[in-house]
Amino acid sequence: MRTQLDTLVTGALQQGSAVPAFTCYDFTTALAVVGAAEESGRGAILLVAPKTAATPNGLRLIAALRGLADAASVPIAVQLDHATDPQVIADAVSAGADSVLVDGSSLPYEDNIDLVRNVRAALAGQGRGDVVIEAELGGLAGDEDRAFGTDAADNAGSTVADAPAGLTDSAQVEDFVARTGAQLLAVAVGNVHGKYKGEPRLRWDVLQDIAVRTRIPLVLHGASGIPAEELVKAAAMNVGKVNFNTELRTGVLAVLEEQTTAHRADGENLQALLGLWNASARTFAATALATLSR
């Protein structure tokens, strides 16, 4: 069913839990996430990467996710992730996205604020003042869509960038939230996109500092690789939304690698192979839903 992302997340926080968000490059994965959410009786968030939304097919995917979300028996939000391009944002919202992460985190502080405000004004002009805006303060290392770099050395398992690009400065939080009017705030507290090099070291002290300075829900990106016993602490720090991508892809790709030959031999049984893809993503989503509501 349709939901406001901020309402969904705030409601979860009031129950001591957080809402998982999963990057969907395709409809099979989205079906799996929604299936897991319905089975758990909890809401979830379907994320669309900006590179996906920047193509006509990506906009059709958003429209399909919109239909899937509306027909679900639990609240499902469709969010455009890490967006900076005003045209991509406008198109994604027209196609059915109900929330946007307006990501000016790589910009100078004042430019980050301007970007969020300009997007808000543009959406209002589009008659879509209802779109929920997440903003990001602090730089996250790594690439959202790639687990590691493309050269051979990086394929050995290092992250795209080894060190966090810059922790969120908690002293900026109150001003940033007030001036952007953001409804959720993505933070950089030692989390990274892609695979972690070594053990993730989340800076709970920084997160605590941020949490006391704003009432809006915080968002943790790059949750893949963070142990469950760490993630369960999130909601206590006002982290109401946790984004997953890399591990979900790892699981799906492992299934495809293991099963493709047998399914090709089995009369080129793509239907059954997609069933296994769905099962892998669904198990992952179910585990994340359970972890965040523990």
Helix axes 173-180 and 109-125, enclosed angle (nearest 10): 20
Q: Report 135-164 residues binding Zn ion (CB under 5 A).
A: 144
Please identify, using beta-carbon distances, which residue of 221 and 282 lies nearer to Zn ion: 221
Please identify, using beta-carbon distances, which residue of 6 and 145 lies nearer to Zn ion: 145
Cα dihedral: 223, 42, 79, 241 (round 10): -40
Question: Closest Cα partner for 41 from 79, 78, 72, 13?
Answer: 72
> Nearest distance from residue 273's CB to Zn ion, in Å?
28
> Nearest distance from residue 114's CB to Zn ion, in Å?
21
What residues are labeled active site?
Answer: 81
Please identify, using beta-carbon distances, which residue of 75 and 142 lies nearer to Zn ion: 142
Q: Report 244-283 residues binding Zn ion (CB under 5 A).
A: none
Cα dihedral: 206, 207, 211, 212 (round 10): -30
> Nearest distance from residue 135's CB to Zn ion, in Å?
13
> Nearest distance from residue 219's CB to Zn ion, in Å?
9
Please identify, using beta-carbon distances, which residue of 75 and 222 lies nearer to Zn ion: 222
Here's the x/- map for Zn ion, 205-234, by CB under 5 A: it reads as: ----------------x-------------
Size of the site for Zn ion (CB under 5 A): 2
Question: Closest Cα partner for 286 from 12, 16, 10, 32?
Answer: 32
195 in contact with Zn ion (CB under 5 A)? no
> Nearest distance from residue 89's CB to Zn ion, in Å?
16
Please identify, using beta-carbon distances, which residue of 31 and 188 lies nearer to Zn ion: 188
> Nearest distance from residue 266's CB to Zn ion, in Å?
37
Please identify, using beta-carbon distances, which residue of 216 and 273 lies nearer to Zn ion: 216
Question: How many whole angstroms from its chain centre is CA 136?
Answer: 12
Residue number of the CB closest to Zn ion reads 221
Q: Which residues bind Zn ion (CB under 5 A)?
A: 144, 221
